[in-house]
Structure 1
Amino acid sequence: MTTNTHHHATSEYAPEHAPRMQWTEHAPDVYKAMARLEAASRKGLDPVVAELVKIRSSQLNHCAFCLDMHTKDALAAGESIERIVQLSAWEESQHFYTPKEIAAIALAEAMTVLTDGFVPDEVYENAAKHFDDAELAHLIAAIITINSWNRFAVTTRMVPGHYTPGDHRS
């Protein structure tokens, strides 16, 4: 096991680990709009479900920055390491999650991987059985929002490992 004992400030990244750009500085109005969308999508949504879908979408999008952030946020909120680890294999590990959580995770996966086709009716209908209309609308918004955050982070190569829970919400 390797231990990283170096703590770098944002401007001190090694060249191979430097972000391509600090997009939030160059498009502050976009960042502020995203932050407002993030906050609005969380209203009325179970925070555990919100973190599970953020982590699962970020896994699918290979977004290391958002994985770092949301696994830390989930752990800080009391989520178990076991459930976070098993999330990448949720279909084989359904006994770790409630039926409502499984419905949300399945919807997040279907919405994130649109190259597999449209969101299947059975996935949507299962989510609709577990969430009332307002919750479902917020869940859809939360999934869309994390996919947007993932795309900003992956495209600009935001560097994971420096986030502390409570720094900011995204």
Structure 2
Amino acid sequence: MQRRLNFKEASPEALKAMIGLESYLSKISISKTAKELIKIRASQLKGCAYCINIHTSDAIKNGENPQRIFLLGAWREAGDIFTGEEKAVLALTEEITLIHQRGLTDETYTEALGFFSETQIGDIITAVITINLWNRVVLSTRLAIGESLA
């Protein structure tokens, strides 16, 4: 596939705003592990190889066990590999990424409240929305693995 456009040149202010979201997310109280799980799982659901490549590598650099990454697509069936908190994050990630299917269900939201404050849930929602934004830019522009967006 041929790259369609250079997003940085075509939409520099949009890219700046996206980087601003990443800056905000770097300061939230959600763990690095949870943030990477969000990024990987949403990217898997959207079929974004570019983002899967970056975020699996980042997760491993941050100490994530590769087995957990391998099992991420089947996290519900993976037993105790993922904590209750991580399962809540993953459920939020899937329902928000696939919002057109059922929306964010009351059951998932209530489960998340058992682990997170409303502020933290808002931050998780922002993290999910942000990676979905990156996925859409990468897929729309046909950015190849190894190329730079910024």
- TM-score category (smaller protein): over 0.9
TM-score normalised to structure 2 length: 0.92
Dislocated runs of 4+, deviation >2 Å: none
Tell me the secondary structure at the aligned position of residue 77 of structure 2: coil
CA contact (8 A) 1:41 1:142 kept: yes
**What is the alpha-carbon distance in structure 2 between the residues aligned to residue 67 and residue 78 of structure 1?**
16
Q: 2:64 pairs with 75, 79, 86, which one? A: 79
**What is the alpha-carbon distance in structure 2 between the residues aligned to residue 33 and residue 94 of structure 1?**
39
Q: Could you tell me the percent identity over the aligned residues? A: 36
Q: Are 1:136 and 2:121 an aligned pair?
A: yes
CA contact (8 A) 1:75 1:81 kept: yes
**What is the alpha-carbon distance in structure 2 between the residues aligned to residue 158 and residue 80 of structure 1?**
28
Q: CA deviation at 1:133?
A: 2.1
Q: Are 1:107 and 2:92 an aligned pair?
A: yes
Q: 2:50 pairs with 43, 62, 65, which one? A: 65
CA contact (8 A) 1:20 1:157 kept: yes
1:34 corresponding residue in structure 2: 18
List alignment gaps of at least 5 residues for structure 1: 1-15
Tell me the secondary structure at the aligned position of residue 130 of structure 1: coil
**What is the alpha-carbon distance in structure 2 between the residues aligned to residue 19 and residue 82 of structure 1?**
33
Q: CA deviation at 1:153?
A: 0.6
**What is the alpha-carbon distance in structure 1 between the residues aligned to residue 121 and residue 4 of structure 2?**
35
For residues 54-107 of structure 1, the C-alpha deviation after alignment (integer angstroms, 9 at most, x for no partner) is 100000000111101101110111111100010011111142111000000000
- Relative to structure 1, the CA distance from residue 97 to residue 27 in structure 2 (aligned partners, 3 Å threshold; closer, same or farther) is same
CA contact (8 A) 1:56 1:109 kept: yes
Tell me the secondary structure at the aligned position of residue 76 of structure 2: coil
Tell me the secondary structure at the aligned position of residue 91 of structure 1: helix
1:20 corresponding residue in structure 2: 4
**What is the alpha-carbon distance in structure 1 between the residues aligned to residue 74 and residue 3 of structure 2?**
30
Q: Are 1:51 and 2:51 an aligned pair?
A: no
In the alignment of these two chains, the number of paired residues is: 149
Q: CA deviation at 1:38?
A: 1.6
> What's the RMSD between the two structures over aligned residues?
1.8
